[in-house]
Structure 1
Amino acid sequence: MTPTPQLSLGLLLTAAAGFADVIGFIELGGHFTSFMSGNTTQLGDALAGGIWPVATLTASLVGLFFLGSVAASLLALLAGPRWGSSAVTGLVLVSFAATLGLAYAGVPPNQFMLILAAGAGAQNAILPSTGSVRLGTTFVTGTLFMAGQDLARALRGVAPPWRWLQHMLVWASLLLGGLLGAWGYGLAGVNALLVAAAVYLGFLVAFLVRRPAKVVS
């Protein structure tokens, strides 16, 4: 089982990802900043139909998500366990600031939301894996499979009886974040991204205040 404090942090990060992703989904007219499975199937459909603007957009979203994950993972490795989470969270905040700055400058959504896709890729490197649940991710397809797998194993008595619920909580946090993000967008438009950015800022402050002690070799 994943310890409760770490699980709570992961749930909050996943909710923030859902909040931001639904805003990107609305701004992009049905494309995603963090759900690359959906973008990939849309890319295949667009390529088959010769719909090149859609193909370009979805390929760019997938590519930027990938580059964001590479950059954040490399940054976490370079910063080490003492500063890794702080550095990656800072990178995510930079992506939000750049996204909003470009939006305020009048750049169209199919351009400024690409930065948010890179930030979504980066978010997945904020928290290291702890316990059985992948924490703070921006996607839940694998999480739903793991919930089903753990439930089946629990019914056979070979897994903790309630561990599958931790996976379902991750899914529910993304759903709740998406719901709140849609409401926020209805009230404030793209400015609602400031809410998610505030969550990441809170994480950054917490990481800086409570960073792990320096390892003495």
Structure 2
Amino acid sequence: MSTPGSEDGGGRDERAQVLLTLTAGAVNAFGFLSLGGVFTSVVTANSALIGIGLGSGHLSVGGLAALAVLGYIAGAAGGSWLAAHRGDSYLAAELLVLWAVAAGWAAAGGHPHGAARTALLAAVAAAMGCQSAGLRVTAGAGVTTAYLTGLLTGAVAELVTARRLQTRSLLVVAALVAGAAAFALTERGLRGAAAALPALLATAAWLEQRRARRRSSGGG
């Protein structure tokens, strides 16, 4: 992905970022609604859930949250390496994981249990780690699709201190909400196919990246 805001690719990079944020919203809703009540890329919330599980004796919730954090770390490590050595291939790796998850979910009729559900949670958390770290390496720390606490804090601080409204930051936050809502609606109506939604959104982002690269290399 070219640097966001570049003359040729800025707008297209923004579209890809929005699509990846929609993906993150959908995947986090997937984890919370369908894979044990934990998140896939919100490490702060999952860390709190680990502590709650330890303190309350509900070790199953704490264990799932810990698994999600470990999966995220593994994915972030892999995504960082791929982005540093193979550029945008980190997103192709994410696609492979998300489509494999969608296939496993569909094969279970939308109702995986036990080890199957646990494996799906670890996989989607790894996909989110891969996406976040890969994007950070290729586009810089200022571009995010999943860590919105810092993004929103920065937008509020900028509004109060400089009286500037960061509309792009608000768009990213809205995209995450929209992605989560879209998954929730899909799960209610088409549960067996719901896991395909994040994969489709990530595929759209990957295609947008490829179009941006071709147009940039072609001078338009």
TM-score > 0.5 by shorter chain = yes
Q: How does 1:11-30 map to 2 (within 5 A)?
A: 11-30=18-37
The answer to whether 1:57 aligns with 2:64 is: yes
Contact 1:133/1:166 (<8 A) preserved:
no
* Cα distance, 1:5–1:105 mapped onto 2, change above 3 Å: closer
Contact 2:73/2:126 (<8 A) preserved:
yes
Separation (CA, whole Å) in 1 of partners of 2:188 and 2:147: 23
Q: How does 1:70-109 map to 2 (within 5 A)?
A: 70-79=77-86, 84-85=87-88, 87-106=89-108, 107-108=112-113, 109=117
Which of 129, 142, 149 aligns to 1:141? It is: 149
Identical counterparts, % of pairs: 26
Return the offset for 1:208: 4.1
The answer to whether 1:129 aligns with 2:139 is: yes
Report the RMSD for the aligned CA atoms in angstroms.
2.3
Which of 93, 117, 123 aligns to 1:115? It is: 123
Deviation string 1:160-209 (CA, Å, 9 cap, x unpaired) is: x33x2221111111111111111111111152221221222233344445
In structure 1, the gaps of 5 or more residues are 156-160
Separation (CA, whole Å) in 2 of partners of 1:98 and 1:203: 18
Q: How does 1:142-181 map to 2 (within 5 A)?
A: 142-155=150-163, 161-162=164-165, 164-181=166-183
In structure 2, the gaps of 5 or more residues are none
Return the offset for 1:8: 2.5
Contact 1:65/1:122 (<8 A) preserved:
yes
Which residue in the other structure is 1:158 paired with?
A: none
Return the offset for 1:126: 4.2
SS at match of 1:145: helix
Separation (CA, whole Å) in 2 of partners of 1:7 and 1:123: 15
Contact 1:23/1:190 (<8 A) preserved:
no
Which of 6, 11, 14 aligns to 2:13? It is: 6
TM-score, length basis structure 1: 0.82
The answer to whether 1:186 aligns with 2:188 is: yes
